[in-house]
Amino acid sequence: MNSKSLPQLRVALALYVLFGLIYLGSYWAELPEVRTVLKPFLIPLLSYFYWGRASIRKTAILGALFFSFLGDVFLMGSGTLFFLLGLSSFLGAHLCYMRVLWPLWKPLAIKVKVIPLLLYGVYACGLLSFLWPVLEELKVPVCIYALALCGHGVLSLSLALAQGQRSWYLALGVFLFILSDSMIALNSFYFNADYFREWVMATYLSAQALIILYFIHINQQES
């Protein structure tokens, strides 16, 4: 990284935080057009930050950010088609993140993996049981997504329990991602309204930042 790039990266991260705060504030100000303008810029700013800070750029991480960007854009639309496109995009994002975490998780001791499996298994079963009567024709895609989401949670929490320190950035980030997606599911199927409003994006934006900070950290350890 050259000496000129670091200030640019700090600006990109600062803009990510600033735009995120403005986005959240637009809920209280009742300015939906602000969210329409800002949302497509959020993940590209975080992607630029990752690109500049990571000396070894992993294709899967860039893929996860790209799929996240697509998911953000698709979920700006309304109706079942846009929901499925958004769901598919975020499924791709989780699978890309998991692709990087899998080699780190695989050699961990079984005893470290048991608690995360139980916790996220109970969470997935509980949420799906709650939503099952109202999912209708979307039962299969939502179940597939829930399995991937909780699989991501298992990998991240196992690594945090085994490694500690900055691995908790990852575990917290993935938990917030799961919480955000759970609120979207409740909004879409149970409340049929934007009940959680700003909390969906507050948890999502925090989640993506924490996950990327973790990957930048392990990248610096590898290089």
Taking only the tens place, the pLDDT of each residue in 132-183 is 999 989 999 999 999 999 999 999 999 999 998 889 999 999 999 999 999 9
Type of residue numbered 63: G
**Of the candidates 174, 56, 207, 181, the residue with the CA atom closest to the CA atom of residue 127:** 181
DSSP 149-203: HHHHHHHHHHHHHHH-TTHHHHHHHHHHHHHHHHHHHIIIIII-S--STHHHHHH
Q: What is the structure's pLDDT at 6?
A: 79
pTM over 0.85: yes
What are the domain boundaries of the chain?
A: 5-222
> How many Cβ atoms are within 10 Å of 189's Cβ, its own excluded?
18
Q: What is the structure's pLDDT at 4?
A: 46
**Of the candidates 39, 40, 63, the residue with the CA atom closest to the CA atom of residue 51:** 63
Percent of the chain at pLDDT exceeding 70: 97
Q: What is the structure's pLDDT at 2?
A: 45
Q: Which residues of the chain have pLDDT under 50?
A: 1-4
**Of the candidates 211, 200, 191, the residue with the CA atom closest to the CA atom of residue 20:** 200
Can you tell me the distance from the alpha carbon of 49 to that of 61, in angstroms, rounded to the nearest whole number? 12
